[in-house]
């Protein structure tokens, strides 16, 4: 099997490190890995695929002789360097929101719309973490019953805000227990309010209509991935004091009549999603259970009492894995299998 030369942009970040770990776990055929980050990280060494690799500063020349690069350093880095990668014949798999809604750029969850990879301009976008986890639970039901609209409330872990999110929650919890904490560690929070013992219904910036940008990602990305331009979506995104893995409560309305046995069978037979649904035995997905799990899980499945042809359910997934790093690697795996790295300008 051919082996590939791969770059990781944002290699020192939380998602970048998960990408490196999962590349080894999933045995991606890699002959060379180039770890790229900001100038302040350049020169450090990190272990990657069994070797110590020196981190290099990301520059326009970084992508020469690479087959593909996974970007996980934020939208600005993607805007700054994706075109340089493309011009060097390096396919970009981008974890940021920079290109998701560009019409010519595929937005891909391989289990759902892998065929979108057949035609790309050298850039493939990874969806938002909550969108990916939501659709892993919703798509098999859509295939069975035909999705009409859905309402979602997300319960998003602090790791969605990166390493600083982890640190903030842990420091606030320690301070609440009376431990001595450096004041500066409590002043560097990425959140607008304390997160320990709290919920914050505010992720990303607010728009004039009262929705946040994070909430609109759920709507717009779902429509694109599912190829349902008329899909109706309403979402509320909430940050919760959980370290890792996002949870989403969904109320969905379908075109055809729904029933629980068919819904359960649809979820159980879908690759990448598991059914954890036996409430009488306290069986339902929780963030701790799904952390470092390659599957998403659905539970609390029931007929919705407010929507016609409606189902209510709860889906949980590791947003650092299926919501980011794992999905990006699965895109690469699909492109390898399909031999679809070639592109034209």
Q: Say if 183 falls within a structural domain.
A: yes
- State whether 110 and 149 are in the same domain: no
- State whether 94 and 207 are in the same domain: no
Q: Say if 345 falls within a structural domain.
A: no
The mean pLDDT of 312-324, rounded to a whole number, is 98
Residue of 90, 235, 237, 246 marked active site: 246
- State whether 180 and 121 are in the same domain: no
Residue of 90, 129, 237, 296 marked active site: 129
- State whether 148 and 100 are in the same domain: no
| Annotation says 235 is catalytic | no
- State whether 181 and 263 are in the same domain: yes
pLDDT at 304: 98
The mean pLDDT of 178-207, rounded to a whole number, is 90
pLDDT at 92: 98
Q: Say if 344 falls within a structural domain.
A: no
Q: Tens of pLDDT along 265-282?
A: 999 999 999 999 999 999
SS (H, E, C) the chain: CCCEEEEEECCCCHHHHHHHHHHHHCCCCEEEEEEEECHHHCCCEEEECCEEEECEECCHHHHCCCCEEEECCCHHHHHHHHHHHHHCCCEEEECCCCCCCCCCCCECCHHHHHHHHHCCCCEEECCCHHHHHHHHHHHHHHHHHCEEEEEEEEEECHHHHCHHHHHHHHHHHHHHCCCCCCHHHHCCCCCCCCCCCCCECCCCCECCCCCEHHHHHHHHHHHHHHCCCCCEEEEEEEECCCCCCEEEEEEEEECCCCCHHHHHHHHHCCCCEEECCEHHHCECCCHHHHCCCCCEEEEEEEECCCCCCEEEEEEEECCCHHHHHHHHHHHHHHHHHHCCCCCCC
| Annotation says 202 is catalytic | no
Residue-averaged pLDDT of the chain: 96
The CATH number linked to 264 is 3.30.360.10
Q: Does the model's pTM come out above 0.85?
A: yes
Q: Say if 230 falls within a structural domain.
A: yes
pLDDT at 183: 73
pLDDT at 153 over 90: yes
Per the structure, the count of domains in the chain is 2
Q: Say if 36 falls within a structural domain.
A: yes
- State whether 8 and 154 are in the same domain: no
Q: Which domain holds residue 26?
A: 4-126+324-338
- State whether 311 and 167 are in the same domain: yes
pLDDT at 344 over 90: no
- State whether 122 and 188 are in the same domain: no
- State whether 93 and 206 are in the same domain: no
Confidence of residue 186 (pLDDT cuts 50, 70, 90): confident
pLDDT at 207 over 80: yes
The mean pLDDT of 226-238, rounded to a whole number, is 98
């Amino acid at each position: 099997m051919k082996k590939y030369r791969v770059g990781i942009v944002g290699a020192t970040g939380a998602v970048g490190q998960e990408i490196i770990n999962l590349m080894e776990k999933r045995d991606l055929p890699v002959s060379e890995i180039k770890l790229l980050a900001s100038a302040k990280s350049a020169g450090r060494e990190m272990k990657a695929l069994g070797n110590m690799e020196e981190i290099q500063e990301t520059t326009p020349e970084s992508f020469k002789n690479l087959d593909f690069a996974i970007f996980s350093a934020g939208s600005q880095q993607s805007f700054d360097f994706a075109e340089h990668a493309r011009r060097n014949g390096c396919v970009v798999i981008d974890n940021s929101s920079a290109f998701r809604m560009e019409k010519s750029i595929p937005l891909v969850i391989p289990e759902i719309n892998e065929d979108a990879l057949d035609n790309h301009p050298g850039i493939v976008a990874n969806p938002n973490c909550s969108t990916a986890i939501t659709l892993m639970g919703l798509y098999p039901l859509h295939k069975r019953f035909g999705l009409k609209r859905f309402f979602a409330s997300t319960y998003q872990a602090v790791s969605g805000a990166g390493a600083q999110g982890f640190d903030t929650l842990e420091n606030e919890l320690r301070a609440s227990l009376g431990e001595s904490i450096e004041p500066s560690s409590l002043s560097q929070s990425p959140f607008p309010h304390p997160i320990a013992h709290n919920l914050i219904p505010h992720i990303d910036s607010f728009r004039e209509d009262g929705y946040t940008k994070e909430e609109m990602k759920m709507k717009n990305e779902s429509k694109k991935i599912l190829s349902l331009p008329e899909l109706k979506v309403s979402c509320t995104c909430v940050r919760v004091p959980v370290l890792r893995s996002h949870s989403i409560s969904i109320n969905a309305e379908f075109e055809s009549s729904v029933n629980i046995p068919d819904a359960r069978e649809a979820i159980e037979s879908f690759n990448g999603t598991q059914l954890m649904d036996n409430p009488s035995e306290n069986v339902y997905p929780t963030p701790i259970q799904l952390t470092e799990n390659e599957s998403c899980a659905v539970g609390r499945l029931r007929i919705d009492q407010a929507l016609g042809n409606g189902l209510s359910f709860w889906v949980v997934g590791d947003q650092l894995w299926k919501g980011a790093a794992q999905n990006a690697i699965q895109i690469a795996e699909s492109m390898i299998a399909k031999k679809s790295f070639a592109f034209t300008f």
